[in-house]
Structure 1
Amino acid sequence: MTSYPSDVAFTSAVKAIQSEKGSRQSYAKVEQHGWKTIVTPDLKSFLSELDMFYLGTANSAGQPYIQYRGGPPGFLKAIDEKTLGFADFGGNQQYISVGNLSENSRAFIFLMDYVHSRRIKLWGNARVVEGDDVLEEKLRDSDYPGKIERVILFEIEAWDINCPQHIHKRFPQKAVAPVIDQLQKQVQELESTIADLESKLETLGQEDLRLRRKDQA
């Protein structure tokens, strides 16, 4: 039987349900074209813009865990054509992901671009690297204040671009802040204009009242 990179996700159980629900034929065509198994220029470009992603791990009993990982834009980097890596910054010291990887290397990375409604799913294996100053320096961003505690390397088994359906738009603060500042300035200008017009109307009203009283005298 022919095997495909997508088999990491499309297991026999998944394929059986696809057949039952009527989507197996279309996905059979998709898997023949092949999911990517190496870092491509498009994936590198996608990574360079992201300042967060979700890391999935599981313990030896199969209990899954999802963790949000954040850093400066592009902090998840391509080490080589099969490996991604990122600096793991100090956090709440629960060490759930680190503990899971110590007994089960299977891992999953979910990349989300909420601004452009894009997402990429990556399957593979991950490992924790501690005390490697050279690797830490390679992944360090001098402008980011987080303290590096370790490096996590992710070896890609397969990845795929997912459809944009049902992705709600979300915008980072740095993108929204200039727009909000501009709107606030416009509001202040309008409020100033309104206050000026109200003052002029009040002056005109007082003058009109004075003239009426003068005519009645």
Structure 2
Amino acid sequence: MADRFMHTVLTPAVLEAERHYYGRTYPTFDTEPESDAFTEAEVDFIQSRDSFYMATITENGWPYLQHRGGTKGFLRVTGPNELMFADHGGNRQMISVGSLAVNDRVNLFLMDYPSRSRLKILGHAKALDAREHPDLVEKIKPPGGHASKVERIFVIKVLSYDWNCPKFITPRYTADEVAKTVAPLKARIAELEVQLKQRTSS
């Protein structure tokens, strides 16, 4: 468990709720821990995701949760405490971009349903105009390209992260994951069908 993550989210109200329901609280820290750098495990996990959820806070104080998707590796680890991803043209509502202009706090939620793993990330983000940063566009454009051009670049300075327990995560599989799993079965079925046809025709 990353110390800085828990130090950030264990507010007095949270600790009071823990005392109320469980009669105890998680350990707290006398001094603020340092920001947590990614290890190889986090880097591999992050850059193998094809989607994640990102929460921002709107100008009038409401949480806003958005799903982001792309090819595996579209969310890039660009430093020990830094993430970037390319933002393409969408519904043009600009809720996340506008919210970050007022409050730069974000929470990312990354899921691996087959292995029942999840990674939570706290950070400070900014959205850069891609027209003003062509060098960054080349650096972080998604693997395999994208149908629409990059309009913005999200840069996230990571404060901390935490791995959550797998309890109650229902395993789910993408179409590609299912296809890879059943491919040997289909090949075996085809092989047996050929053998059966040969026997019945002889």
1:16 Cα deviation from its structure 2 partner: 0.7
Which residue number corresponds to residue 19 of structure 1?
19
Say which of 152, 163, 166 aligns to 1:164.
Answer: 166
Which residue number corresponds to residue 6 of structure 1?
6
Higher relative contact order (CA 8 A, sep 6+): 2
Counterpart-to-counterpart distance in 1, 2:41 and 2:23: 28
Which residue number corresponds to residue 83 of structure 1?
82
Give the number of aligned pairs: 194
Which residue number corresponds to residue 204 of structure 1?
none
Gaps of 5+ in 1: 200-217
Which residue number corresponds to residue 203 of structure 1?
none
For normalisation by structure 1, the TM-score amounts to: 0.77
For normalisation by structure 2, the TM-score amounts to: 0.82
The answer to whether the 8 A contact 2:122-2:160 is kept is yes
Q: In 2 relative to 1, CA 58–109 (structure 1 residues): closer, same or farther, beyond 3 Å?
A: same
Q: In 2 relative to 1, CA 169–67 (structure 1 residues): closer, same or farther, beyond 3 Å?
A: same
RMSD: 2.9
Q: In 2 relative to 1, CA 107–90 (structure 1 residues): closer, same or farther, beyond 3 Å?
A: same
* 1:141 is aligned to 2:142: yes
Question: Residues 33-82 of structure 1, C-alpha deviation per residue, up to 9 Å, x if partnerless?
Answer: x7962222211111121111001011122111111101111211112112
Amino acid at match of 1:7: H
Amino acid at match of 2:20: E
The residue correspondences of 1:163-202 to structure 2 (distance < 5 A) are 163-183=165-185, 186=189
Gaps of 5+ in 2: none
Q: In 2 relative to 1, CA 42–142 (structure 1 residues): closer, same or farther, beyond 3 Å?
A: closer
- Which runs of structure 1 show a deviation greater than 2 angstroms over 4 or more consecutive aligned residues? 29-32, 144-147, 178-190
1:102 Cα deviation from its structure 2 partner: 1.6
Q: Which structure shows the bigger proportion of residues in helix conformation?
A: 1
Which residue number corresponds to residue 109 of structure 1?
108
SS at match of 2:124: strand
Amino acid at match of 2:15: K
